[in-house]
A and B are shown apart, each in its own frame.
Chain A
Amino acid sequence: MQLPPALHARLAGAPGSAEPLPVERDPAARTAPFRFAPRPVRFPREHDFFEEGDVQRHLYLQDVLTQVGGAPERPRVPEFTCQVAGCCQVFDALEDYEHHYHTLHRNVCSFCKRAFPSGHLLDTHILEWHDSLFQILAERQDMYQCLVEGCTEKFRTSRDRKEHLVMRHLYPVDFRFDKPRKSRGPVMPGAAEQVLAEAPGDDGVPSEVDAMEVCSEHVEPPPAPAGERRAYSHRVPHEDLKGPRREISTSNGGSSAALWRCCRAFPPRRRGPRTLARAALHVAGL
Chain B
Amino acid sequence: MWSRQRGRLKPLCCGVEELRCRRREREAALRKARREQQLVSKRLLRDEALEEAEEGCVAMIFGEAEIQQFLRLAQRGTEEKEREGALVSLRRGLQRPETQQTFIRLEGSIRTLVGLLTSNQALLQLEAARCLHELSHSEQSAVVEACLPATSYLLTYLSGHSSDFIELCLYTLGNLIVESEAVRRQLLPQGIVPALAACIQSPHLTVLEALGYALSQLLQAKEAPEKIIPSASTDSSVLGSTLPQHMLQLLQPGPKLNLGVAVEFAWCLHYIICSQVNNALLITQGALSTLGLLLLDLAGAVQRTEDAGLELLACPVFRCLSNLLTEAAAEAVGGQLQLRDERVVAALFILLQFLLQKQPSLLPEGLWLLNNLTANSPSFCTSLLSLDLIEPLLHLLSVSNVVSVLVLTVLCNVAEKGPAYCQRLWPGPLLSSLLDTLAFSDTEVVGQSLELLQLLFLYQPGAAQAFLQQSGLQALQRHEEVAQLQDRVHALQQTALHG
Q: State the A residues within 8 Å of B (CB).
A: 1-4, 6-8, 10-13, 15-26, 28-29, 32-46, 49-70, 72-74, 95-96, 98-104, 106-107, 115, 117-121, 148-151, 168-172, 174-176, 183-186, 188-189, 210-220, 222, 251, 254-255, 259
CB-defined contacts of A118 to chain B, threshold 8 Å: 156, 159-161
| Count of chain B residues with a beta carbon within 8 Å of a chain A beta carbon | 160
Do the beta carbons of B325 and A40 come within 8 Å of each other? yes
Nearest neighbor of B133 in chain A, beta-carbon distance: A68
0/1 string, B35-49, CB within 8 A of A gives 1 = 101010111111111
Please report the C-alpha to C-alpha distance between residue A259 and residue B124 in the assembled complex, in whole angstroms: 14
Please report the C-alpha to C-alpha distance between residue A183 and residue B448 in the assembled complex, in whole angstroms: 75
CB-defined contacts of A254 to chain B, threshold 8 Å: 78
Please report the C-alpha to C-alpha distance between residue A151 and residue B193 in the assembled complex, in whole angstroms: 11
CB-defined contacts of B296 to chain A, threshold 8 Å: 11
Do the beta carbons of B125 and A103 come within 8 Å of each other? yes
Do the beta carbons of B341 and A102 come within 8 Å of each other? no
Tell me if B459 counts as interface (CB < 8 A to partner A). Answer: yes
25 A/B residue pairs, CB under 8 Å, sorted by A: A4-B389, A11-B296, A11-B350, A17-B341, A17-B380, A19-B382, A21-B382, A21-B385, A24-B418, A24-B420, A32-B487, A41-B372, A44-B276, A55-B31, A56-B312, A56-B359, A65-B8, A65-B10, A65-B48, A68-B50, A95-B164, A102-B122, A169-B152, A170-B186, A220-B108
> A41 is contacted by which of B152, B167, B371 (Cβ under 8 Å)?
B371
Kindly provide the distance from the CB of B88 to the nearest chain A CB, expressed in whole angstroms.
Answer: 13
Kindly provide the distance from the CB of B134 to the nearest chain A CB, expressed in whole angstroms.
Answer: 12
Do the beta carbons of B342 and A17 come within 8 Å of each other? yes
CB-defined contacts of A175 to chain B, threshold 8 Å: 152
Kindly provide the distance from the CB of A57 to the nearest chain B CB, expressed in whole angstroms.
Answer: 6
Nearest neighbor of A114 in chain B, beta-carbon distance: B120
Question: In B417-445, which residues have CB < 8 Å from any A CB?
Answer: 417-421, 424
Do the beta carbons of A36 and B455 come within 8 Å of each other? yes
Tell me if B265 counts as interface (CB < 8 A to partner A). Answer: no
> A59 is contacted by which of B23, B44, B156, B412 (Cβ under 8 Å)?
B23
Please report the C-alpha to C-alpha distance between residue A4 and residue B126 in the assembled complex, in whole angstroms: 55
Kindly provide the distance from the CB of B87 to the nearest chain A CB, expressed in whole angstroms.
Answer: 13
Kindly list 14 other residue pairs between chains A and B, CB separation below 8 angstroms, not including A40-B322, A219-B108. A17-B382, A20-B378, A22-B420, A26-B459, A41-B326, A56-B362, A102-B122, A104-B122, A151-B191, A171-B190, A172-B149, A217-B112, A218-B109, A259-B120
Tell me if B461 counts as interface (CB < 8 A to partner A). Answer: no
CB-defined contacts of B346 to chain A, threshold 8 Å: 7-8, 10-11
User: When A1-B353, A104-B122 are in contact, do A70 and B206 touch as well, CB less than 8 Å?
Assistant: yes
Nearest neighbor of A167 in chain B, beta-carbon distance: B189
A1, A40, A117, A213: most-surrounded residue (chain B CB, <10 A): A40
> A218 is contacted by which of B108, B275, B378 (Cβ under 8 Å)?
B108
0/1 string, B185-205, CB within 8 A of A gives 1 = 010011101110110000011
Please report the C-alpha to C-alpha distance between residue A148 and residue B236 in the assembled complex, in whole angstroms: 11
Do the beta carbons of B193 and A150 come within 8 Å of each other? yes
CB-defined contacts of B39 to chain A, threshold 8 Å: 54, 58
User: When A10-B387, A51-B34 are in contact, do A36 and B451 touch as well, CB less than 8 Å?
Assistant: yes
Do the beta carbons of B303 and A8 come within 8 Å of each other? yes
Do the beta carbons of A17 and B156 come within 8 Å of each other? no
Do the beta carbons of A25 and B417 come within 8 Å of each other? yes
Please report the C-alpha to C-alpha distance between residue A62 and residue B42 in the assembled complex, in whole angstroms: 6
Kindly provide the distance from the CB of A255 to the nearest chain B CB, expressed in whole angstroms.
Answer: 7
Do the beta carbons of B164 and A99 come within 8 Å of each other? yes
Do the beta carbons of A149 and B191 come within 8 Å of each other? yes
CB-defined contacts of B44 to chain A, threshold 8 Å: 65
Please report the C-alpha to C-alpha distance between residue A87 and residue B116 in the assembled complex, in whole angstroms: 21
Kindly provide the distance from the CB of A169 to the nearest chain B CB, expressed in whole angstroms.
Answer: 5
0/1 string, B139-162, CB within 8 A of A gives 1 = 000000000010011001101111
Binds A, one of B93-101, B244-252, B391-399, B466-474: B391-399
Do the beta carbons of B326 and A40 come within 8 Å of each other? yes
CB-defined contacts of A73 to chain B, threshold 8 Å: 49
> B159 is contacted by which of A26, A32, A117, A210 (Cβ under 8 Å)?
A117
Tell me if B171 counts as interface (CB < 8 A to partner A). Answer: yes
Tell me if B118 counts as interface (CB < 8 A to partner A). Answer: yes
User: When A57-B267, A58-B39, A169-B189 are in contact, do A49 and B159 touch as well, CB less than 8 Å?
Assistant: no
Kindly provide the distance from the CB of B226 to the nearest chain A CB, expressed in whole angstroms.
Answer: 13
0/1 string, B335-348, CB within 8 A of A gives 1 = 00000111100110
Question: In B105-129, which residues have CB < 8 Å from any A CB?
Answer: 106-109, 111-112, 114-116, 118-123, 125-126
CB-defined contacts of B234 to chain A, threshold 8 Å: 150
Do the beta carbons of A103 and B162 come within 8 Å of each other? yes
Kindly provide the distance from the CB of A153 to the nearest chain B CB, expressed in whole angstroms.
Answer: 11
CB-defined contacts of A72 to chain B, threshold 8 Å: 5-7, 48
Do the beta carbons of A21 and B421 come within 8 Å of each other? yes
Do the beta carbons of A186 and B120 come within 8 Å of each other? yes
> B454 is contacted by which of A29, A64, A104, A115 (Cβ under 8 Å)?
A29
* Top 3 closest pairs, chain A to chain B, by CB: A185-B120, A150-B194, A212-B118
Please report the C-alpha to C-alpha distance between residue A73 and residue B152 in the assembled complex, in whole angstroms: 32
Question: In B278-334, which residues have CB < 8 Å from any A CB?
Answer: 296, 299-300, 303, 309, 311-312, 315-316, 319, 322-323, 325-326
Do the beta carbons of B342 and A26 come within 8 Å of each other? no
Kindly provide the distance from the CB of A281 to the nearest chain B CB, expressed in whole angstroms.
Answer: 23
Do the beta carbons of A33 and B488 come within 8 Å of each other? yes
Do the beta carbons of A171 and B152 come within 8 Å of each other? yes
CB-defined contacts of A259 to chain B, threshold 8 Å: 120
Please report the C-alpha to C-alpha distance between residue A58 and residue B267 in the assembled complex, in whole angstroms: 11
